[in-house]
Chain A
Amino acid sequence: MHKVYTKLDRIAGNVISLEADEVTYRELAMVRSDLGDSLAQVIRIEGRRVFLQVFAGGRGISTAAEVRFLGRVMQVPFSDALLGRIFTGNGEPRDRGPAITQNMIPIGGPSVNPAKRIIPRNMVRTGIPMIDVFNSLVESQKLPIFSVAGEPYNPLLARIALQAEVDVIILGGMGLKHDDYLVFRDTLEEHGALSRTVMFVHTAADPTVECLLVPDVSLAVAEKFALEGKRVLVLLTDMTNFSDALKEIAITMEQIPATRGYPGDLYSQLAARYEKAVDFEGAGSITALAVTTMPGDDVTHPVPDNTGYITEGQFYLRNGRIEPFGSLSRLKQLVNNKTREDHRSIMSVMIQLFAAYRETLEKQSMGFRMSPWDVKLLKYGERFENEMMDLSVNIPLEKALDLGWTILADCFEPEETGAPSRLIEKFWPKEIVKKEEEKEDQETATK
């Protein structure tokens, strides 16, 4: 039987404190106020005084509010019945379905023993050439999408979710706009993917602190599915909101901020979540894709900066396209040698030429003379941007590689590309070559 306390001595922001006995660290409590019940978690104990963060926020809580300690840590239900369902950050149904209370599992479990990890080896195909060809996503990878507000990062996540070859999709929404949440739900439903999806959604209208639970809840469920042998894709959007919630609590607790108000343990907090991405030997895997919005498009902002040090690469989303420079998949070398023999060469050749195109653009804007080579590059760059980079392009990897050769053949002579001659012989489109030869034949004939 748990005692009920009714005497709060401090309410500041979303943190309350009271005197209580036999409370354990990180224990949950139920706080009753006029606005309804809310879960709260113990975040500090000083003698008899206990500090709790209230997930629904401190608003409307009376100093005489009932606080009942539950004697357990935060848990979520786990079963196959979760699939196709939508929950709030603390595990209550958001759709009209019944609450699930069986088989509760704790969240925020211990980290995986590094000696038990294996080197990732499987590619996750997405149908997006900028990912598949240039920065392949690898099973068990953790990758953020760096972008500014207003970029179509949520539609991109939804597309990856639909097209990725995985068994279970878990979406953790933090501070999601309500319309975005509906878009996610409807898109997944339309394409019949909802039945293999579990959504934990915290919308912008919900109390801020609640979003702190979303990554832990999502990853705890993902981990269970993975241990059952499922390949799980976890989508988290947006981790900047999660970090802001951490900041809010830290400031309320009068912690000394490190950079720009964020707590000193931001790196450890983010790493504890991202490092859940894993490939279990003999079981399933967790691949994590997260959105990190960069305030003011500043990659040195503490959230993207710390994230970059933790994750295995990053995608930059800029002007509605995945930017080839800066974007990086640190694990692509592990898989792109097993796809098709021309994969690596197409990847480096096309990027080098695209870099040259960007330089030419710069020269052009400064008014320098355009050489015949520059003209070729300009043509190439335009085709590359429209046919490869555009997010609406949706083709499998092999088609994308073929398309790469077609674009190269349309714009350059084989030896101008710097591709290995062995591959040129095999993959350089013969028809175009033939066409040109015919043209030359005709020209000589007319002469």
Chain B
Amino acid sequence: MSKNTGKIIGINGNLISVAFDQPVVQNEVGFAVVGDTRLKAEIIRIRGTSAEMQVFEDTTGLSVDDAVEFSGEMLSVHLGPGLLGQIYDGLQNPLPALAEQCGFFLQRGTYLAPLDNKSRWTFTPTVKKGDRVRAGDAVGTVPEGIFTHRIMVPFRMRGEYTVETVAKEDDYALDHAVATLKDERGDTHDVTMVQTWPVKVPIREYDERLRPTEPLVTKIRIVDTLFPIARGGTYCIPGPFGAGKTVLQQITSRHAEVDIVIIAACGERAGEVVETLREFPELTDPRTGKSLMERTLIICNTSSMPVAAREASVYTAVTIAEYYRQMGLNVLLLADSTSRWAQALREVSGRLEEIPGEEAFPAYLESVIASFYERGGVVRLRDGSVGSVTIGGTVSPAGGNFEEPVTQSTLKVVGAFHGLSRERSDARRYPAIAPLDSWSKYPSVVDDEQVERARRSLREGNEINQMMKVVGEEGTSIADFIVYLKSEYLDSVYLQQDAFNEVDAATGAERQQYVFGRIVKIIDTPVQFEDKDSARRFFQSLTQITRDWNQARMDADEFKEIEERIDKMITEVTDYA
């Protein structure tokens, strides 16, 4: 088979124009050849006999008339056991292996196999000769850490097949054919433990998409109680720089009650990824007692790495998420930050000289963002098991202004909005999710009526606080002042959470229900004070004690003791009138 090659006719930044004479495919991958180096590129527009390609590398040194070899394949990822615990760049290059080969720097044009074909896995067949199978059906399983990894009929094989042979239980190399399938025409196909899938196409091998209703517990109180996330749902975290977006995602990635966490570090600081890279292997997963890294996968395309690969990285991440969903697992994808991804789209669109939309973002920004978040969801697979992909993306709005296109397009398609506020982060009220502006369409882990009561308290407290700024404390009635103090109390002891305290950092659903009920009851209790100063002092010490309560283990005696002290304090000031 002769190779399909083209010739470069123009270069503009990371965009090259290539003349071709044999058919090419939209989104096909090609390699620009410069000396001994082959630079990966993707076709993004075809006009007449020339195609525009975005190069995933620095284009320095390319020249007109240099050859481009087309591969005939769309940009794809390798899927198979061994993905978990890996650290990839946006194109699924394993970064630690790359470091071993190239040293400190990322050498352009070096592409390594994402999975080690020689690694061996213990295969257990789940089908037998003569069984009828379709794409996505398991032919066997291998253990991958704590999970049972299903080896599936490649998603790209259409139609029904009959199992011809299947390997017996044993250790096999990744690229060993563990099954052979016969199609309707009688041709046979080998199935290995690894398959490829184009990243920009969703995997649809399931029976039915379900409504996301089951809460995904993050153990962050303000999220689970007030602005919950659902398994298979989507949410976004916009916030100005320094408001704690990345920290919030890091905490979520540690404590969230899901099977697998995929972190897509997309165009952000390398230093933050390094913290995850170096710390996760040391941390233990409270659910399994194993290293957190065993359930984590990191796709890392930091801000100084090539822009086009940044665009690919979120797709790489979501495709791997869908792959594990096909095994009936719950996957959480955290993308930080989707704004950098949108900016990558904008850069390419600018070079293509497309007519720009708002703030020079391409007109199709909204639909691209929508189709990305739509890849999240909870599905019932053909074998009846249920898997989900939950997507949480941070947004870095220019100037911290939520009116910009990326935030607005994202808000239209997500199910929950956790808006971070500069005011709260300046006041060190972490997590800095603004309680009055954020929203969620998913069910909370606590009672709805209580949530409504808490919301009302926060709203009223805020109004009184605004008023007090004008008329001063002297001009506020003591009744109003107490309403304000109660809302501040709720904020300090429940909405704020100390990420550095072992107990306070992660509050499970059961504890949230218990504590929240208790605090709402306090807010509902009418209390009486002689003057504002004594009221303030009372709530200050109540806050202090409740914070201690937050730091006590629920099964410890201390927990009960402190609770009794709180009860006593409240009884002393209750107004029985």
Interface residues in chain A, defined as those with a beta carbon under 8 Å from any beta carbon in chain B: 22-27, 44-48, 73, 108-120, 227, 255-259, 263-265, 267-268, 271-272, 274-276, 280, 299-302, 305-306, 308-310, 312-313, 325-326, 328, 330-331, 366, 368
Contacts and interface: CB of A to CB of B under 8 A. Distances in A.
Contacts of B270: 111-112, 114, 117, 275
B300 A114 contact: yes
B20 interface: no
Given A117-B274, A259-B398, A271-B303, A24 B347 contact: no
B59 interface: yes
B59 A25 contact: yes
27 contacts: A26-B61, A110-B58, A111-B270, A113-B95, A113-B102, A114-B87, A114-B274, A114-B300, A115-B277, A117-B270, A118-B274, A119-B274, A119-B279, A227-B104, A258-B359, A265-B350, A272-B304, A275-B269, A275-B302, A275-B304, A299-B399, A300-B398, A300-B399, A305-B399, A308-B242, A309-B396, A312-B271
A46 to B, nearest CB: 5
Interface stretch (B9-17, B382-390, B411-419, B503-511): B9-17
Nearest to A300: B399
A300 B403 CA distance: 13
A114 B64 contact: no
Interface of B: 9-13, 17, 58-64, 87, 95-96, 98-99, 102-108, 240-242, 267, 269-271, 273-275, 277-279, 300, 302-305, 307, 340, 343, 346-347, 350, 353, 356, 359-360, 396, 398-401, 426, 472
Most chain-B Cβ atoms within 10 A of its Cβ — which of A26, A114, A256, A306? A114
A306 B102 CA distance: 31
A301 B400 CA distance: 11
B10 A116 contact: no
A258 B11 contact: no
B270 to A, nearest CB: 5
B63 A25 contact: yes
Nearest to A277: B271
Contacts of B102: 113
Nearest to B300: A114
* Dominant secondary structure at the B interface: mixed
Contacts of A113: 95, 98-99, 102-106
Contacts of A257: 360
Contact of B350 (A119, A264, A300, A312): A264
Nearest to B337: A309
A110 B108 contact: yes
Given A45-B64, A308-B242, A368 B472 contact: yes
B106 A310 contact: no
Contacts of B105: 109-113
A207 to B, nearest CB: 22
A316 to B, nearest CB: 12
B278 A118 contact: yes
A365 to B, nearest CB: 13
A116 B472 CA distance: 56
Contacts of A267: 267, 303, 340, 343
B303 A264 contact: no
Contact of B398 (A24, A26, A275, A305): A305
A272 B14 CA distance: 14
Contacts of A301: 399
A256 B350 contact: yes
Contacts of A300: 398-401
Nearest to B241: A308
A221 to B, nearest CB: 16
Contacts of B240: 308
Contacts of B305: 111
A27 B64 CA distance: 13
B398 A46 contact: no
Nearest to A270: B303
Given A73-B60, A308-B241, A312-B271, A110 B347 contact: no
Most chain-B Cβ atoms within 10 A of its Cβ — which of A109, A268, A325? A268
A73 B61 CA distance: 8
Nearest to B58: A110
Contacts of B304: 111, 271-272, 274-276
A48 B426 CA distance: 55
B349 to A, nearest CB: 8
Contact of B99 (A73, A115, A328, A368): A115
Contact of B104 (A27, A119, A274, A280): A280
A310 B271 contact: no
Nearest to B95: A115
A264 B64 contact: no
Contacts of B87: 114-115
Contact of A258 (B106, B108, B278, B360): B360
A447 B519 CA distance: 52
A331 B271 contact: yes
A116 B242 contact: no
Contacts of A45: 10-12, 63-64
Nearest to A334: B275
B50 to A, nearest CB: 10
Contact of B63 (A24, A108, A118, A280): A24
Contacts of B95: 113-115
